[in-house]
Chains A and B, each alone.
Chain A
Amino acid sequence: MKKPVLILGIGNYLMGDEGIGVQMANLLSKEVFPEEIEILDGGTGGFYLLEYFEQYDHIVIVDATLDEYPTGTIRLIRPKFAADFPNAMSTHDIGLKDLVSALQLLNKMPDVHLFVVSIESIQQQGVELTPEIARIIPELRSKVLELAHRLAETKSEFMLV
């Protein structure tokens, strides 16, 4: 029996803003949620995350990306194939893409929502977020939670029927 929703933060928190996904997961893990919603700090997990992808109906991933958008832009994308994942540009980048390819091949790809946060650069060391990224945490948190709750409710209605 699959579980409803996993909020999965990925990234490397040793690399400043690149770790925004992990920082968000750690922040959320201190809050109380209904049992339909679980939180995981996926770190730089790569293949280690396969078992989690198979256990949930919906996965809400939070990750950093280097793209053409202004720093701190939060976008929600719906990747279906490995190629749809943005160049996360972190050390876990290829791992995640390989993981997604593998899930497709096994025909076990769950429903994935991906929040990407545009960051300026990962040319920094340290575990601190820059002020530009720290500033968007409340907005990111409410977007992630709004989606997760909506997905969880859809599921329970479905189960009642």
Chain B
Amino acid sequence: MSQRIVVDPITRIEGHLRVEADIEDGKIKDAFSSGTMVRLLEEILKGRDPRDAWAFVGRVCGVCTSTHSLVSVRAVEDALGIIVPPNAELVRNLMFASLYMHDHVVHFYHLHAMDWVDVVNALKADPKKTSELAQSISNWPKSSPGYFSDLQKRIKKFVESGQLGIFANGYWGHPAYKLPAEVNLIGLAHYLEALEWQKEMVKVQTIFGGKNPHPNYLVGGMACSVTLDDMSGINAERLAYVKTILDQGKEFIEQVYIPDLMAIASFYKDWGSIGGGLGNYMAYGDLPTKGFNDPSSFKFPSGAILNKDISKIHEVDLRNDKEVEEYITHSWYSYEGGDQVGLHPWKGESKMNYTGPKPPFDHLDFSQKYSFLKTPRWKGNAMEVGPLSRMLIGYAHGRPEFKEVVDKALKDLDVPITALFSTLGRTAARGLESVLVANWAQEFYDQLISNIKNGDTRMAEQSLFQPSTWPKQAIGVGYGEAPRGALAHWINISDEKIANYQLVVPTTWNASPRDNNGQRSAYEAALIDTPVADANQPVELLRTIHSFDPCMACSVHLYDEHGKHINRISVVGD
């Protein structure tokens, strides 16, 4: 007997993702992922000044706003042949790095941890034992019995007041929760500490980007002035503040995030063989250290891995119209060339064609179009993007930093390298790359200070800023790595205006519907064989989907006003 479950929406933040899964004998047999919201950013951008695009794309989502802006200015710079000064590259890298540190920690504690940590069970923990455990895994100072005991009292009072708040949507007491009460209490304590911590971390965006949320970018560089003595710009005092934030970020990742991740993972090693999915991984690369035109200098290298074969890295060329193509066979769009063709984004079309049922509906017909996400493919292959892809590609390139953190984690958990190709591997990779990024941020900072001390205060290249200097027609691609995975924007500029603009975002790669050949994308593939003990409480399904860090706001570009059920689960017997 198979049962169909519907989870809608599935994200705790930003936007609408609906998953339907068929369960048979306690396992997922088939799954369908649908983006039920559309925002045609492409249409909003047409006819605008390319130099303003970053401000619009930054609004596509509140979470990785600055990555979209960054990739947008890169697209325009690529089209116009603008090379940004080294300091602007470093400031961009520092904003990128602090965004990652912020985003990954917030994802782990606030969007994903509750899939593994039973917060209600934490109330049963013995504070003294919790303290001993905390001190055995980390030197983090907030670990006394009194600290944990006070916290428990506070949470009890909160829960007794009838305001469940963040705890309202959990499957507390579900048998899939395996952590001892003391580990749950540590997780809960750090949930709260991470909330406090994150608000410092975001200040790097405000300092360099002028404001947050939605910091400022500039085609040709950055819109800030960095000097050591100027009172009006970013001076020595502000820079020292940036350094303090970066240090605190690194400290929290090393002393809180990683020890918690490893402690929690040690109770869920079975998830090292669940949720693997495609086995195809791709990264575009990011964090230039010798200019964006020298990809070999990127801290995150680019490449593609097929069928889990990490002995071979395939090159990825975003300009080649036979590599990245978007299909709409199962997406609510129509192409002039019909439903079966794939289009390279420079030739991309965004004409909506909603053929689904009138909302609210119970089910979608998956033999037809069923999502507002297009389906991107690389040389015809479905690819997973995200932290795991980046870590695997860095590892496959033999980069020592990647090997060191990955090998140590595998050894500490006593699991084989194949455990990486899983839900657990995805969640662990996010933590491990946070360590790398926190270290690199220190290098970027030192380099920036050194440049300024040597008298280089250039922050923007403005010689090609005026449209009179531009060719009549130009095309460009801006790319990079958003926290959730590979991101690129393709732009066509004609007569000083945007003629076409296409975004292919990480969640489109991962959450898209089937392609013209019926191949599943990453979410749908990863859910196959995921165990579900209780169809009314599919916490296991959430673990796998959340391990991708889904963010639908940017992947679908209208709005389904009926998606308002927060984590509505419906079970339909079949």
Contact = CB atoms under 8 A, between A and B. Distances in A.
Contact of B13 (A18, A98, A104): A98
Contacts of A95: 13-14, 62
Interface in B547-573: 553, 558-559, 561, 564, 566
A90 to B, nearest CB: 8
Nearest to B61: A44
A46 B165 contact: no
Interface in A95-121: 95, 98, 100-102, 104-107, 121
Contacts of B155: 105
Contacts of B228: none
Nearest to A93: B564
B43 A44 contact: no
B561 A46 contact: no
Contacts of A50: 195, 198-199
B110 A66 contact: no
A98 B110 contact: yes
A155 interface: no
B561 A123 contact: yes
A87 B565 CA distance: 10
A102 B166 contact: yes
A127 interface: yes
A54 interface: yes
Given A14-B44, A46-B62, A51-B199, A123 B559 contact: yes
Contact of A123 (B14, B56, B60, B558): B558
A13 interface: yes
A117 B375 CA distance: 36
The size bracket of the interface on A is 35 or more
Contact of B158 (A15, A82, A100, A104): A104
Given A87-B564, A91-B553, A122-B561, A98 B12 contact: yes
Contacts of A91: 14-15, 37, 61-62, 553
B207 interface: no
B356 to A, nearest CB: 14
A47 B14 CA distance: 11
Interface string B106-124: 1000100000000000000
B559 A44 contact: no
A33 interface: no
B44 A44 contact: no
Interface string B31-61: 0000001011101100000000000100111
12 contacts: A14-B41, A15-B39, A43-B214, A45-B213, A47-B110, A47-B195, A50-B195, A87-B564, A93-B564, A98-B13, A101-B165, A104-B163
